Structure 1
Amino acid sequence: MSVPDLSDVDGDVYVTPRYLAGSSGVGDAGFAPVAHWPHHHLDEGPYQLVVTSPDHRIRIGWAGDDYYLWTITAAPDAVSAHRWSVIANQNTPAELVGALTAALAEDWAPDQDRFLSAPAGWSNSLTLLADAGWQLRHAGPGVIGALAPGGQAGAVADLRRHGAQDEVFTLWAGPEGWATQAEITFTANTPSHLLLAVAKAFADPAPVARWRENLHPALAARAQLTPITPPRPAVPTPRDVRPRVAVRHPVAIGSVPRWSTSTPSALLPARAAARR
């Protein structure tokens, strides 16, 4: 069996389910799909880094020290108001954000605007979650919720009429708390296929890597942690490594030779021969 290459794995444990992994502290996994897009490092304002599509219609803002860590928007052109927005907080695993940025990178081209297409509803995302074992439930008039197996993640879809910039769909994971619960919200005009990409990432059974010491204890207690490298064999003790000594099995009494008075002296033990 071949040994997997773990040189690029940033962590010492795999976390399952992935939505309980929390933030890794960096946005690499979220920015990786758009690494080839222009990067703008800002000294002032809420965002330390803004990555844009080449025509600036898509913008991905990273606020490194803010609770609302990611803000992703899209507009018809570089100077128009955005048509939709997605916000992910500081506890959201970057791998889940990366599912959205990967879809945007695939959508973008100078002569097309699929990332601005009108939403076709949220039913496909809810269906996907239900197929993955999430339990659908009514959360109020015009509101449908979904709860992941184990109750550690969920979704809320508000199907009532709203303004274009109202938040109408939320995916969350982890116990309540400023430092523990992940949350991604989508405004009403977010294209359905983009939401579906993030829902798929939530339902994906593949784990993500984290450093155990950086994982919040409340998340570690609820997730399954698997060491990335198997534990080393126990160090052998001196008793394990000392040379083995051949064991002489006792000889049956009846087989012991009896010396006679005629036995030659040369065949007797040295001391016995000396006494003779």
Structure 2
Amino acid sequence: MSAQPDPRYDIDGDVYVSPRYLAGSTGTGDPALAPLLGLGWDLQHDDLGNVYVNAPDRRVRLGYLPEGEDDGLWRINGYLDPFGPPAWGVCFNDSTPTEFVRAFTTALASAYEQGPDVYLARPVSGIDEHDPFLAVVPLLKQGWEFDRPRWGLFAVQSPDGLAAMEFTTGDLDPAAELTTRDARWQLWAGNSVERPAWYATASTDTPVALLTAVTRCVADPAPLPRWRGETFSYIEGMARLTPILPAEPPAPTPLDVQRAVASRRPAALPASSVPRWSTTSRPALPGPRR
């Protein structure tokens, strides 16, 4: 049986950032693209370095746009009709922790394998698995609290007040939901919603299971590893940075100790190498008298 790799050696960073919603992006899109590419989705790119990923039925499309027109680095849309307008759309800006995007794409890959009834499922209030407010439950379980009520807006806030999730009520412009921050859902972190450290938006008909995958990841109390030189300056005063120490060697077992002692003992000479004149040889018998 082969030995399992120690996960401590796979840590990519020199500090842990806590709470994790203050970690910022890792600066690479590969981890978030992997769940979809693992299903064989088509990948293309343009001359600027933007990446486009399409589902086989062309009903889900992802754009990773480092050279896009705004800070919307990740734009992911689902389509009832491959040639029609998007049925739902999600955007993560360029500072969003990559782990949150990967949580979304992982859930999307799972939903896609189950079929369009899952990855195109519209939220419906009062229906258990499709109730939109289920997406808030993971945050509430980790101590997030309802923010003071505002007209047309429902919100929950992290205990430190540095992150929030907002739900806008009433009618919204479907086109604006897909291209601006005027969407049904908005998740953000930082000092203010006007100038957040990062944000993510989701349109009205985004499947609840996909939203919940993100909020569950955001609510996870485990810190995220980052390279300190690449963290945002504001993190220094808001987040807790804990050095990632090198892994300590495992304590020796009693068998390891016995083997070490045995290796220091001098090796015994083989019987064939003992000379006949040594003290281990029997003395010669006296001959007969003459």
Is this a same-fold pair by TM over 0.5? yes
Choose from 51, 54, 60 the match for 1:52.
54
Q: Are residues 1:79 and 2:89 paired?
A: no
Give the Å deviation of 1:218. 0.6
Q: Is the 8 A contact 2:9 2:247 kept in 1?
A: no
SS in 2 for 1:92: coil
Q: Give the number of the structure whose alpha-carbon radius of gyration is greater.
A: 1
Please report the TM-score for the alignment, with normalisation by the length of structure 2: 0.71
Q: Give me the whole-angstrom Cα distance separating, in 2, the residues matched to 1:178 and 1:154.
A: 12
Identity %: 34
- Once the two structures are superposed, residues 103-125 of structure 1 have per-residue CA deviations (whole angstroms, 9 ceiling, x without a partner) of 11001138533111111243212
Q: Is the 8 A contact 1:22 1:215 kept in 2?
A: yes
Unaligned runs of 5+ in 2: 125-130, 178-182, 249-290
Unaligned runs of 5+ in 1: 233-276
Q: Which residue of 1 aligns with 2:169?
A: 159
Choose from 109, 114, 127 the match for 2:137.
127
Choose from 168, 181, 200 the match for 1:184.
200
Choose from 234, 240, 244 the match for 1:218.
234
Q: Is the 8 A contact 2:8 2:247 kept in 1?
A: no
Give the Å deviation of 1:162. 2.7
How many equivalent residue pairs? 229
Choose from 147, 164, 183 the match for 2:157.
147
When residues 231 and 110 of structure 1 are mapped into structure 2, their CA distance, relative to the original with a 3 A threshold, is closer
> What are the residue-to-residue correspondences of 1:201-216 with 2, within 5 Å?
201-216=217-232
When residues 230 and 6 of structure 1 are mapped into structure 2, their CA distance, relative to the original with a 3 A threshold, is closer
Q: Give me the whole-angstrom Cα distance separating, in 2, the residues matched to 1:64 and 1:50.
A: 11
Give the Å deviation of 1:146. 1.0
Please report the TM-score for the alignment, with normalisation by the length of structure 1: 0.75
AA matched with 2:213: A
Give the Å deviation of 1:145. 1.1
More helix by share: 2
Aligned-CA RMSD value: 2.6
SS in 1 for 2:136: helix
Give the Å deviation of 1:180. 6.2
Q: Is the 8 A contact 2:188 2:196 kept in 1?
A: no
Instruction: Return 219-228 or 12-21, whichever deviates more.
Output: 219-228
Give the Å deviation of 1:149. 1.2
Q: Give me the whole-angstrom Cα distance separating, in 1, the residues matched to 2:218 and 2:157.
A: 12
AA matched with 2:236: A
Q: Give me the whole-angstrom Cα distance separating, in 1, the residues matched to 2:73 and 2:192.
A: 17
Q: Give me the whole-angstrom Cα distance separating, in 1, the residues matched to 2:114 and 2:165.
A: 33
The runs of at least 4 aligned residues of structure 1 exceeding 6 Å deviation read 177-180
Q: Which residue of 2 aligns with 1:22?
A: 24
Instruction: Return 206-215 or 217-226, whichever deviates more.
Output: 217-226
Q: Give me the whole-angstrom Cα distance separating, in 1, the residues matched to 2:52 and 2:24.
A: 22
- Once the two structures are superposed, residues 32-66 of structure 1 have per-residue CA deviations (whole angstroms, 9 ceiling, x without a partner) of 2223222111225xx70012222221111111144
Q: Which residue of 1 aligns with 2:121?
A: 117
SS in 2 for 1:206: coil
When residues 231 and 107 of structure 1 are mapped into structure 2, their CA distance, relative to the original with a 3 A threshold, is closer
Q: Is the 8 A contact 2:13 2:228 kept in 1?
A: yes
When residues 63 and 179 of structure 1 are mapped into structure 2, their CA distance, relative to the original with a 3 A threshold, is farther
Q: Which residue of 1 aligns with 2:258?
A: none
AA matched with 1:59: R
Q: Give me the whole-angstrom Cα distance separating, in 2, the residues matched to 1:224 and 1:153.
A: 15
Q: Are residues 1:137 and 2:157 paired?
A: no
Choose from 70, 83, 93 the match for 2:74.
70
